[in-house]
Structures are given as structure tokens and as C-alpha cells.
A and B are shown apart, each in its own frame.
Chain A
Amino acid sequence: MSDIQTLEGEILGAVSAAADEAALEAIRVGALGKKGSISELLKTLGTMTPDQRKVSGPLINGLRDEVTLAIAARKAALGDAALNARLAQEKLDVTLPPRPEPQGTIHPVSQVLDEITAIFADLGFAIAEGPDVEYDDYNFTKLNIPPDHPARQMHDTFYVAKQADGSRHLLRTHTSPVQVRTMLSQKPPIRVIVPGRTYRFENDATHTPMFHQLEALVIDEKTHLGNLKWVVEEFCKAFFEIDNVTLRARPSFFPFTEPSVEWDMRCDRSVPGKIQFGTGNDWLELGGSGMVHPRVLEMCGIDPEKYQGFAFGFGLDRMAMLKYGAPDLRPFFDSDLRWLRHYGFAALDLPTLDGGLSR
């Protein structure tokens, strides 16, 4: 065995035995450093005859290359081992919970309003709004409920204390005063829905002194009772997300509509505590409606000989209760976090017609 081969064996043996990067560096210096064993051999090449060099040159250079590669390979292996050892050290208990992030929710009334808005926007309805404190004139008189009309007894009204100017106002008992405001400020054709808070002197198991109504108003030259029926039907299909809706109309009375109609929708209540829409032998009360009374049009500055249209009013809270199975009204306004989380909706679940109103 030549010296070179012996040297090669020694160095490669040491490389593979090197326990860490420092040992490896020492081996590298010992072999390839300025005074290293291989460097010394390389220096001998200059003193050789061309023939000797032809034989020894490739051997020595080969040795250098092989050792260089072996050191690099060992270095990589040592690095990996060190990293693995560190990673093993850094192990976490990944079953621990992440940093807490509060989960916000949208109130069901807001969610349902967004659903309803999406439906009516597609039908060309804008949203009209009005104040909670109203003039008696807008809440009653201009809606054809003069003072001392028995219909005022249908509305248990909250009054606001007398103002400095002697006027006395009320908390609107329905969203209908916004009809008045809309007609006074806008020329037909009109298509609006009016959602909002309403107030009545009621407080029992199924009533709260504040609740939400949803009103719709259409005024143009042609809209008739059949159009009203169609809108109620299409609305119910879209809102309850069912294909079949059977409506029942009942003649009724509201001072601000003539004729007046109340709507019921076919449903199934045969399973206690559950309600299924579009099927069954029971009827669900939806709300009141009718053709806007000619006197209301007149009092709101619209010619009843030329224009006509309909209005209807549903309970917004009730819609939410029915669709999402919330049995009681009172917790809607109680701010119980448990309830808000149970019946609330995710922030990004904005109802759309293309994506579906609800999941």
C-alpha cells in the first residue's frame, strides 16, 4: 500500500468519526490547511520530474478532492443532526389552545333584515327610515286614524313628555308613519320597505314594549291587490327558502288601507315545538296589508284618482323567530351573551341571493 493510500484511509476514517463541527474543522486544517498533510503532498509536485508528476499528480489531486467532498458531506450530516436535536428540544404541546380570539356575532334581527333587504332589493324596493319619536299626525291622523277613532285603542301608545314648545309626541306604534314621510317627500312611483323599532304599551310573555316591524309600500298607477299577493308569495318563498307557498287571505281592517287583508301561510305544526313551512294543515299568521286608503294618499299629497298601491307590515322579530326557531321574543332584547352566541350569525355570513340567504 502506498503512503497516499494510507493517508487517505487515515483522513477519511477521522472524518467519518468526527463528532462535531470543531473536530471536523481540525481534521480539515490537518489535511488541507496550509501545513496540512495533503497540502504538503501537493507542494512535492513542483519538485517532481514530469514523468513522476504524471503518475503522482492525479493521485494527490484525487486525494484532495475526495477528502474535500468527505468533509463537506460530514459537515452537512453534522448540521442536520444538530438541527434535529434542536427541533426535538423545541417540541410544543400542540393540544394547547391558541391565543384567544373573541368570536363576534350579528343579532338575528339584523341578519334577518339583511336577508329581507336582499330579497326586496331584487324586487326594486329601497329602504326608507324614520324617527322613533313621531308626530301624532304622522303616526295616526295622516294614516286616517283621527283623534278618538276607536282604532287608536288597537295601539297602546307610549307618549313622550310635553316639550318646551308645548308639543307632545309619541313613540311610533308602527312603521307606517314612514309611509307618510315617504309619500310627503317623494313622487310616485314608490317602492320602499321600512324596517325599524316600534313601541307599544305591552309587556307580557309574548310581547315586549319595543319590537321591530317591517313595512312595505308601493305606489304607482297600476299596482293592485293581485300584485300585493304576488309580492307576499314571492317574499315568503325567498325568505323561508322553500319552493311552495300557499297563502290564505282574510279580509280585515286597518284605517290606512282599503281593502285590508291579513295573510296566513300554510304550515305544519303537527310535531310539537316545530314548524314546517309550505306543507301541512295549519296556518301561520304573517301580517296585515291592504291597498293604501285613498284618504291617506290624499292627506299625503298624492292624487288618489291617479295613483294607487299597497302597503303591508310584518313583524321582523317574528320572522326571525319563525325562521330560526327562537321560541320567545323577550330574550331578543335581553343581551344575554349565551343567547346572542346561540342565535347570532357570523360576521361574514352576509346574506346574498346568489349564495343563498342562509347556510
Chain B
Amino acid sequence: MKFTLSWLKAPLDTDADVATIADKLTSIGLEVESVEDAGARLKDFVVAHVISAEKHPNADKLKLCSVDDGSGKPIQVVCGAPNAHTGMKAVFARPGTVIPVSGEALKIGTIRGLESRGMLCSSRELLLGDDHDGIIELAADAIVGEPAAKALGLTDPVIDVNLTPNRGDAASVYGIARDLAAAGLGRLREGDLTPVPGKFASPIKTELAAGVEGAAPMFAGRLIRGVKNGPSPQWLQDWLKAVGLRPKSALVDVTNFLSLDRGRPLHVFDAAKLTGNLRARFAKDGETLLALYGKTYTLDSQMVVIADDFGARGIAGVMGGEETACTDATTDVFIESALFDPISISRTGRKLGIVSDARYRFERGVDPEFVVPGLELATRMVLDWCGGEPGEVVVAGAAPNWRRSIDFDPNYVAQLGGLDVPKSETVSILRRLGFTVEDGATLKVSPPSWRGDVAGKADLVEEVVRLYGLNKVPSAPMPRHSAVAKPTLTPSQRRTRSVRRALAARGFNETISYSFIPRAHAKLFGGGDDARQVENPIAADLDALRPSMLPSLLAAAKRNAARGFADLMLFEIGAQFDSGMPGAQSTVAAGIRMGEGSRSWTKTGHPADAFDAKADMLAVLETAMGAAMTAPVKAGAPAWYHPGRSGTLALGPKTLAYFGEVHPKILAELDLKGPVAAFEVILDAIPESKAKGKARGSFAPSPYQALERDFAFLVDTKVTADEVLRAAKSADRALIEMAAIFDVYEGKGVPEGQKSLAITVRIQPRDKTLTEPDIEALVQKIVAAVAKATGAVLRT
């Protein structure tokens, strides 16, 4: 919402300067986004008379000027503008003046051997436009030595208020003035709203089609005959231009002015182009209308149009029609002033993609009592500027009842707002804002017609607090729930935090990436279906909810590789999406290692492999659970992993994690060199700890010597390490504390199709020292158990 200072001061009688007004506006909730005060900004630039402009003796394209800036002495200036000429009035910058476009102070210079003691300025140099072809030529009557801003008509500061959508009442200069006056900054001038008597019965009537009353409750209008259209007064043109509107003609400018000044959208029809009465009705599906600015819109049956016997003539409350628009030739004008339902207007505007000043106001709610007064104001202006004879006002329908009463305990200001405001002040504030207040222990408050946004007690608190001073609310401590703060994280939140820090401690860099990825990538990871599509993606490659975190990480890896970082460890904790339904998502910790291993003279690096990923996965799980992961890993994982170098960890039916090397085809699709090892741990699937109490079990180390025995088994290559170890441990669960693989060998000395697995078993006696025969018996049991379970043969 833009307006100029002088415009505001038309309805507001105040001596306040623009800074005071801006501060007050912001403090009462009408946030000032900017104040463009070109007069202040350009105060150092003056009007100068170019006494002479001759060719520069040493340059063809430069001119040597003699300039009078009002100081009395001619000043020598070298100027490159083609339009610099003798006798013109121009904008002059003296040495030392800061030039807006460069932000630098102007210096006395020597150009092609001649001194230049100032500059004649272009629009662009003053940041007033893009024109850099020549210098600004001021009107011949501009007064030499006076501020150039005055000659440019830029002395009126432009204030831009960022209006919140609830404040339809302030979508007008008058409404803003009304709020400022209520806030104590000046006195409101109401203007002359006396009706203009009609001189003849209107031949054009307004009508409401049956059923349209909800969307268009009131439709008023007036015919004025014998007008002479032409330009509107200069002051109005200046105001409109200052806020970014192009003045068109008096008849059109009246409607724009009243829309901006009073928040009362109007439309003017060239009555000669209408056939019969005007009627607000729903459009027919598929009905079309050529609107202002020459664009044709296809309408539907939920949109209200203003139509005559011929057809739709305007999109109600949104935009008028081209064919019935007023022109300079218009002699009879019909002014429409109506009331439309905000939701209906909003829907129509959005569907048609039309942003207009009328829509802006109707969808925020206009003053229902100002339909006819607005029409009277318009009549007065048309008569003043274009002459003519007014007909009688015609009205169809009526404003819906907006009157309501709110019971308001004045103590509620303190209860909700934390601000002690005397009751008398509360009453005074509300009355200044136009509310009717019936005094009593509980106030009966009725909002004025223009405050459709005020519905309840809380709204009244806001009104009182914002005018009394929001910054007067004292801060008040909140009570502590307990002396020492209690922990507040849920187990899963705590777990997520630990996992994040554990991965960083392992050397992973945490990243955060978008939840949407290219559909083509999503398809590679089991997603990319319609249910997980973003309907209106912001970019073609951000159109699918990610079914896995890995595509994000792999894409990141690719970007980093392109920057020369081909060895990396990245992880992210975030959501993966199982469908497009709310809640169908899982929190996952996923990570990748890419590359051949950092090059080092120590030769310790190695290409990223499945066992790196397995270690990472186990670290995540064990951090999350606070205990060792004992469940077995099964070979194989989803299709984006290497089929032979990947694994899955599940607890019963619940998959907890995948790990492995990324499938070479996926790497090729994503244009990655690799190798890449990856893991995905579904944090939501990890069961919560079942530990009871804080105390650990008692520490009872065995007093007897533990011993280790090594075995080498020949097994079929298909037999897994896990099977061998489990079999070994099963030989005596009480005595065998641990069994571990320490060598795997295939090749020379081992038959084809077999491998050698060397394991070490740690035996921990609990109640007596084992004798040699005891040990020998146990060793035999172990060999037998492994042989039975896996077909292994002890290597000798």
C-alpha cells in the first residue's frame, strides 16, 4: 500500500514529519516497508542554467559548458551528453556531491586538458530511471539554484506500508489516516459526503440475479449524462504516478483514486455501449470476456460477472471489460459501486490469475456502509472535472448486517496482553477507533462497519495494546516447573543426536539436502511413483519426494567430485518418504564413503567397501541402542546396492538397516566414478531400550585363567563366516566367551570351491580350572559342532 505524504495529509490534519509518521505507523501495526524521499536524497542537486554549451576543443563528442548554478559565477563543466545545449535548465552536482549511482563524491576533474568543476546529471546517475542517453532537461521556468528535486516534482515522500491481510480497513489512505488519528497523530478530515441529488430517473437499473446475493449482496450505480472526459487534475496525476499508477483520464482516475484513497473500488462503464440494465450474476461455464488490457478470460459458474442484456461486461470486483470501457469520447458514464463476498473474489482472482487493486480490497473486506457514500464522492468528482448531469442512485440488494456486540471484560487486556491499561483508557482507545462502547463492569463493544476483522475479545485486546503501546508490555518471567531443569528430549530425539555426533566423530561431514529430488533419481531408489510427486515443483529436477536419502548424498558427492573432492564421507539425518501421505515417512541416518581412500605415504588408505559401510552401520545402531548389535546380518539389500556386496540387518519383521557398495549401474546413471559404500539406518525402526533402572549388573570376573584356541576349517565357499562362528559358540555357551574370525583364505593349498576360515575361540572357565582332558573334549565338541552345521573339515 503506497501513498505520498501530501496525499496522507489530505484526510489527516497533522504537522508531523514523515519520520514521525513512519515510526507511528510501524508501532501501530501498519509496518512501513520503505520511505522514498527523493527530495531529501537529492537535496544537494540544484537547478542550473546552461549559459553556453560549445564543442570541447580537444574532443569531438564532449561539450564545454558554462553553467550558472545560482552562485553568481559561471562554472566550467565538461559534459558528454548529446542533448546538452545552450540555454537549457539542467540538474547540477557541485564538486563534493555524492552521486547516487556510484555512491562516490564528485571530484574536480580535468577532461581532455580542460577542468570540469561539476556535473550535469542523467536520470540514471540520480537513480531516478534507466535513461542514460542524455542529461535531464528541466522545465524552462525552473528556478536556478533551487533544489532540483523541487523542479522534478519529487518533494513528496512516498511511503510504502506492508499491509497485513486482515486490515482491509487500512487498504486506503483514508483508513491509514483514521488509524493514525486514533493513535493521537493528527485529526481526521471526513470529507464532504453529502449526497448529490439526482436530476432524472436512471434509465439503467442495477439488478441481482437470483442466487447471487451471497456472492454479491449489494449493487449500486449511477448514470451521469453529458460528461466531457479528459485528463484529471495535475495533483491527482502526480499522486497516481508517485504510487506507480499511470493516469488515464478523469473518469478512470476517479475510480483509481477512490479505490486507493477510500478503499472503495468502483467501475465506470461507457453507458452508450451498454444494452439494457446491469445485473450481477454468475457467469456461465465457458463464457468469455475481453477484459481491460486486452486479455480474454474464460469464466466459470462460480465467478460473478456484471452483465447487461448483451452479455458479461466485467468480472465483478476483479476487472472491467474492454468493450464497455470509458474513452475520451465517452459522454454518458455509469458508475458501479458494489459489495462482493471476499472469498468469491479471492477464488475468482486466483483462478484467473488477475491481481488488481479492486481484488486486493474486496478480498480483504471493504466497508459495507460505504457503497453509496463512495458513489456520491465519485459523482462529485466527475461533476467537478467532467461536468454533466447526475441521475438518481439505483441500488439493488443491501449490505449484510455487520453489526455485532462483544462482551469485553476490561481486565482481559491484562490477562491476555500482560499490560495494565486503565479501564477509561481502554474505552477511550476503542472509541477513538470508531468502536461503540457501552460502559459497565463488562463492556459491550461494537466494532465499526469497516472493522470486519474484529470478531472477539482477543481482537479487542490487540486493538487496545497496539494503540496503548505494545512496547509498554513489561516482560514477565515464566514459572519454573522444577528447580533443576528436567530432561526434555524423547528417547528417539536423544538417539538421533547421539547418532549424529557419532557419525561426525567417525569422520563424516554432516549435510542437509532438499527433501525433493529429480524423479529420475527417485526411480533408481524405489520411488518416483505418482503418489510421491510434487504437484507444483519449483524446478523440473526437484519434483519427487525422496524415497531414500542416498540419491541426495550421491548427487552431493558428484558435485563435490566436480570441485576436486573425490574422496569424501557424507551423512545426513532426515526423512525418507514412503508415500505422499502425512506421517508416511521415516527418519533415516544415511551415509556414503566415496573414493579410493586418501593417498598417504603410510599406504593405509583403501577403496571404500562394504565393510566400511558395515562398520558405519553397526556404529550407528550401537550408538542408538547403547548396546552391541547381536542380530545377524543377512546377505543382500535393495536393488541400488551391489547384489553380492551388501547386507540387511533386521529384527524380526522390522528392517533396521542396509549397507553395502552402491550398484555400479546406479553410479553410472548418476555419473559417479566411485567406488561408493553406503549405509541407511532407519532410526524409527530401532526398538527402545528395555533397560530397567540405572544400576549396572554386578561385576563378577572369573578368577580362573581364560584360554584361547585357534582352529582352521575348510568349508564350502558358500558357507558364511557367521554360520561357522555361531556353530562354534553353540558347542558350549557357558564356557565359550567369544569366537572370532582371524583369517579367510582361498587359493593355493585350498581345494577349488572351498575356503579356509581360521577362527579363535576364547574359553572362560567359571567354576574351576579346566584340565587338559576337559579342554581337549571341548575342542572336539567345537570341531564337531562346526562340522555338523556347515560341513566344515578341520584343516590339519
Contact = CB atoms under 8 A, between A and B. Distances in A.
B325 to A, nearest CB: 27
A118 B174 CA distance: 49
Interface in B406-442: 414-419
B500 to A, nearest CB: 6
Nearest to A260: B462
A1 interface: no
Interface residues of A, number: 100
A239 interface: no
Given A226-B418, A335-B553, 7 more contacts: A102-B598, A110-B573, A133-B577, A150-B363, A158-B537, A225-B473, A347-B505
| Chain B CB within 10 Å, residue with most, of A102, A160, A233, A350 | A160
Given A104-B508, A161-B530, A258 B462 contact: yes
B504 interface: yes
Contacts of B404: none
A168 B508 CA distance: 37
A6 interface: no
* Nearest 5 pairs of A and B residues by beta carbon: A226-B418, A102-B507, A251-B29, A253-B164, A335-B556
B532 interface: yes
A96 B347 contact: no
Given A225-B416, A225-B417, A348-B501, A132 B485 contact: no
A321 interface: no
Contacts of A110: 500, 510, 512, 573
User: Main secondary structure on chain A at its contact with chain B?
Assistant: mixed
Contacts of B604: 99-100
Contacts of A291: 416-417, 458, 461
Contacts of A223: 478
A104 B507 CA distance: 4
Contacts of A332: 512
A338 B563 contact: yes
Interface stretch (A38-46, A78-86, A120-128): A120-128
Interface string A276-308: 000000000000000101110000000000001
B531 A124 contact: no
Contacts of A158: 516, 534-538
B558 to A, nearest CB: 10
Given A100-B600, A230-B476, A253 B583 contact: no
Interface stretch (B88-96, B279-287, B464-472): B464-472
Contact of B515 (A164, A191, A210): A210
Contacts of B508: 102, 104
A159 interface: yes
Interface of B: 26-29, 31, 164-167, 342-343, 346-347, 350, 363-364, 414-419, 456-459, 461-462, 465-466, 470-471, 473-478, 480-482, 485-490, 493, 497, 500-516, 530-539, 542, 545, 552-553, 556, 559-560, 563, 565, 568-570, 573-575, 577, 579-585, 598, 600-602, 604-605
A356 B18 CA distance: 45
B583 A131 contact: yes
Given A151-B165, A344-B510, A259 B600 contact: no
A55 interface: no
18 contacts: A97-B601, A102-B507, A104-B507, A106-B500, A154-B165, A158-B536, A197-B515, A202-B538, A226-B418, A226-B473, A227-B418, A230-B477, A249-B471, A252-B31, A253-B167, A260-B462, A261-B470, A336-B559
A214 interface: no
B417 A163 contact: no
A104 B532 contact: no
A138 B582 CA distance: 10
Interface of A: 96-107, 109-110, 114, 117, 120-127, 129, 131-135, 138, 147-151, 153-154, 158-164, 167-169, 171, 191, 197, 199, 201-203, 208-210, 218, 223-231, 233, 248-253, 255, 258-262, 291, 293-295, 308, 332-338, 340-341, 344, 346-348, 350
| Chain A CB within 10 Å, residue with most, of B27, B488, B500 | B488
Nearest to B470: A249
Contact of B509 (A105, A125, A160, A163): A105
B579 A163 contact: yes
Contacts of B164: 252-253
A230 B478 contact: yes
| Chain A CB within 10 Å, residue with most, of B536, B539, B542, B559 | B536
Contacts of A199: 515
A337 B509 contact: yes
B370 to A, nearest CB: 20
A102 B569 contact: yes
A99 B470 contact: no
A308 B416 contact: yes
Contact of A123 (B478, B505, B534, B563): B478
Given A106-B504, A133-B585, A218-B478, A250 B27 contact: yes
Contacts of B416: 224-225, 259, 291, 308
B419 A250 contact: no
B364 to A, nearest CB: 6
Contact of B487 (A121, A250, A262): A121
A334 B552 CA distance: 10
Contacts of A150: 165, 342, 346, 363-364
Contacts of B343: 147-148
B496 to A, nearest CB: 10
Contact of B475 (A171, A233, A341): A233
Contact of B488 (A127, A149, A344, A350): A127
Contact of A251 (B462, B493, B570): B462
Nearest to B27: A250
A336 B509 CA distance: 10
Nearest to B461: A259
A259 B538 contact: no
Contacts of B486: 124
Nearest to A145: B165
A81 to B, nearest CB: 32
A134 to B, nearest CB: 5
B347 A148 contact: yes
Contact of A337 (B26, B482, B501, B560): B560
Nearest to B365: A150
A340 B535 contact: no
B745 to A, nearest CB: 26
A124 B600 CA distance: 50
B34 to A, nearest CB: 15
B473 A229 contact: yes
Given A150-B165, A160-B580, A252-B164, A340 B538 contact: no
Contacts of B511: 107, 335, 340
A99 B26 contact: no
A138 B583 CA distance: 13
B503 A148 contact: no
Given A104-B569, A340-B510, A348 B505 contact: yes
Nearest to B485: A122
A320 to B, nearest CB: 11
A20 B505 CA distance: 52
| Chain B CB within 10 Å, residue with most, of A150, A171, A227, A293 | A150
A251 B28 contact: yes
Contacts of A168: 535
Contact of A248 (B471, B477, B513): B471
Contact of A161 (B474, B535, B602): B535
| Chain A CB within 10 Å, residue with most, of B28, B470, B478, B538 | B478
Nearest to A103: B507
B485 A335 contact: no
Contact of A226 (B474, B515, B584, B598): B474
Given A161-B535, A291-B458, A336-B560, A132 B585 contact: yes
A225 B461 CA distance: 11
B346 to A, nearest CB: 5
| Chain A CB within 10 Å, residue with most, of B343, B509, B575 | B509
A294 B456 contact: yes
B265 to A, nearest CB: 15
